[in-house]
Amino acid sequence: MPAPVSPRILAVVNALPLRPSSRVLEIGCGPGAAARAVAARLTTGHILAIDRSAAAITRAAAVPVGRMSVRRVAAEDFTLEPGEKPYDLVFAIRVGGLDGRHPELGRRILQRLADATTPDARLFIDGGDPLREIAIPRS
């Protein structure tokens, strides 16, 4: 049974600048409610939901959705797999490495994202109204 989508998560998903063809990366997906809501809006795109927790990935994978895949990996260790296309939209809800609680971890995550996203990719986290955008640093 999929986790219900809370009003807070739905507000975040509604605020994302999604296109039907977006390649989306969710960091810290938990049980996958936001990822499933995003996947429902994609027609040719794809969402990859990642989390460091095996339990979270097990829950997220329990309800398969056609445009969604899951991977167990910490954000600071994320890399594209061979042949995997880069992502053009990234979002995270309550991820300490991106909301300022763990600055060094945040720097490592942003470097990984720079390597795994398109040059014009955008990164959003919760904490705005309902989102705020963080620049992905490019070398």
Q: Is residue 1 part of a domain?
A: no
Q: Model pTM?
A: 0.94
CB neighbour burial string for 14-47, b if at least 16 within 10 angstroms, e if fewer: eebebeeebbbbbbbbbbbbbbbbbbebbeebbb
Q: Is residue 120 part of a domain?
A: yes
117-135 residue pLDDT tens? 999 999 999 988 899 999 9
Give how far Cα 50 sits from Cα of 129, 138, 139, Å.
24, 22, 25
Which token pair is 8?
């807070």
Q: For residue range 69-112, what is the model confidence (pLDDT) as tens digits?
A: 999 999 999 999 999 999 999 999 999 899 888 999 999 999 99
Residue 89 within a domain: yes
* Burial class for 7, CB neighbours closer than 10 Å (0-12, 13-18, 19+): exposed
First to last CA, the chain: 43
Question: Which tens digits make up the pLDDT trace of 10-38?
Answer: 999 999 999 999 999 999 999 999 999 99
Whether 102 is covered by a domain: the verdict is yes
CATH number at residue 57: 3.40.50.150
- Respond yes or no on whether the N-terminal peptide bond of residue 130 is cis (omega within 30° of 0): yes
The whole-angstrom separation of Cα 32 and Cα 29 is: 5
* Domain count across the chain: 1
Give the model's pLDDT for residue 105. 95
Structural domain contains residue 71: yes
Q: Tell me which residue range forms the domain holding 121.
A: 7-134
